[in-house]
Structure 1
């Protein structure tokens, strides 16, 4: 069985693609998988390190406004469809999967025109522009949120399948004890995990100063704050200027980046997160209640829609970025800590939303598209 999988630009498109590919490799013996991306995207670095073959095309994304650059991009996209078709003809895949991002547009379009079975995976409540276009051509659409189905409502119901979003298997295998040991956390305290994404979130980092002032030295709670590489020096400097002595507080750990996030998730009792689809999939798979602060400049404001979907089900509390203050974040954390029943109920609702088997479901859906005469 041969498969092409394409998705790039951000980790939110790349890591789900890798997770699906690994699941396919487990389900289909003697499978051959080829990733297609761009040589300038993160995928060019990440995918080869994961041990998969990698091919590139030249393509760029559309600007979200009318411009001459968009006209040039559309013209160049015709060439990238031709390049994609050449890769497809040479590799001869049985099925092609796209996980979002502009790079997968020409690849999935070429595959569809060549009558190769196709599937796209949409992680967010509000689909991206590439997947909205591709929905007209592909055989199946795997959605991460049930709410996303209405955005594809004009298509055949049997074309859309609610699978959830794929997560790394390590997210589920990491134990609480392993996380506490690896991160030097106190087993007798609740753990608050604060993450604003790999690059950090300045608004969250700034709001955390009040949280530190309030909870420093607390015997109830410990804070593991991942600031992002770009923000780390700034936040540490601000903490010192504020007179907070982290070294003697005994319950505050600040890191610029965390290479083993599954261990942190294993130890977490409450999380402060942005609302990217992959992060929320991992939180709900583990059943971690969350305070969500959606990134306000995400395309189509999709992070807020993602966050509100969890809030509606009782798994999260949402604070809009423009309304975020240190006092408000501190009060929200304190309210949850003082209401164990509410925190427990949020954890239960979060776990009910989790789809830890999503990658397997998507892999099986893709394999089921392979035409009998193409099965090897």
Structure 2
């Protein structure tokens, strides 16, 4: 079996694609799995580090806000779009896939569409409750549509061939030992708060979490707080420490990046973060309470719609960035901590949304699809 997976742009597209690739390889060790994406994108490093062959294709999205800079980008996007057809044809000839899977990002569009036109078996996976434009356009052409959320089914426009499977998460997320994870960080009986805003860092999240850290230390809360600033927030958080009067130490651990996310999620009682699809899938799989701050800078405001599903289930509190103040965050955390068992109950509600068999469901359907032949 030869498989070509197209995914790019963000970890929320690429990590599910890698999880699917790993599951297919486990099910069929003889499978040859290739990836298509941008060499300058995040996908190149993640895919090649995982050991899969990588085929470069340059494709960019169009900018809706028309500024001189964005107009220039749109001309470049048109140029790359014109070249994407011939480049896709070359990739398909090289790989000769039995199956092509699109996992999101602009790169999925030309690759999956060309494969479908050739009669190659095709599938897409939509990670968000509010589908992206590319997947909405592809849904009518592919053989199978995988949706993470039931809310996305009608929006994708192909309900008769859409399966709700959730978002596949890394296997290590499902195998963590909470007691061991808490012991490893010396949590004791403290409430563990884990906060982060992405690899680059989210300025507003850093600012309000800084105020929260100041409140925790001034009021002597029984909290162990673990915070990742992101690369752009390192100096900002140092400045906030002076401004808000907090000091990293036994009750506050500050890092630029979190390299052991599965372990820290296992140890946490409350997570403060953005609401990307991958993050939410991991919160659900782990059963963790959360305060979610959707990024306002994503297409179709999909992080907000993702987050609403957890809030509606009683698993999270959603605060839009336009409403996010230091006072609001402190008030929310204080309220959650005031009711014994509240965080545990929210975590239980999060787990009801999880799809622990997501990868199994996807793999079974893809293998059945390939068996039907071209």
Quote the residue 1:171 is aligned against: 173
Q: Which residue, 240, 243, 249 being the options, matches 2:242?
A: 240
Deviations 1:248-281 (A, max 9, x none): xx31111110111111111011111111000000
Deviation at 1:70, TM superposition (A): 3.9
Deviation at 1:314, TM superposition (A): 1.1
Equivalents in 2 of 1:69, 1:21: separation in Å?
32
Cα 1:341/1:9, change in 2 over 3 Å: same
Deviation at 1:94, TM superposition (A): 1.2
Quote the residue 2:133 is aligned against: 129
Partner SS for 2:193: strand
Partner SS for 1:294: coil
Equivalents in 2 of 1:264, 1:60: separation in Å?
35
Partner SS for 2:54: strand
Deviation at 1:62, TM superposition (A): 2.0
Cα 1:306/1:262, change in 2 over 3 Å: same
1:90 aligns with 2:90: no
Question: Residues 180-329 of structure 1 correspond to what in structure 2 (within 5 A)?
Answer: 180-182=182-184, 184-216=185-217, 218=220, 220-247=222-249, 250-329=250-329
Question: Residues 28-107 of structure 1 correspond to what in structure 2 (within 5 A)?
Answer: 28-64=28-64, 70=74, 73-74=77-78, 76-107=80-111
Question: Under a length normalisation based on structure 2, what TM-score does the superposition of the two structures give?
Answer: 0.94
- Note if contact 2:165-2:362 (Cα within 8 Å) is conserved in structure 1: yes
- Note if contact 1:98-1:108 (Cα within 8 Å) is conserved in structure 2: yes
Deviation at 1:91, TM superposition (A): 1.6
Partner SS for 1:17: helix
* Length, aligned pairs only: 369
Partner SS for 2:370: coil
Gaps of 5+ in 1: none
Equivalents in 1 of 2:56, 2:211: separation in Å?
47
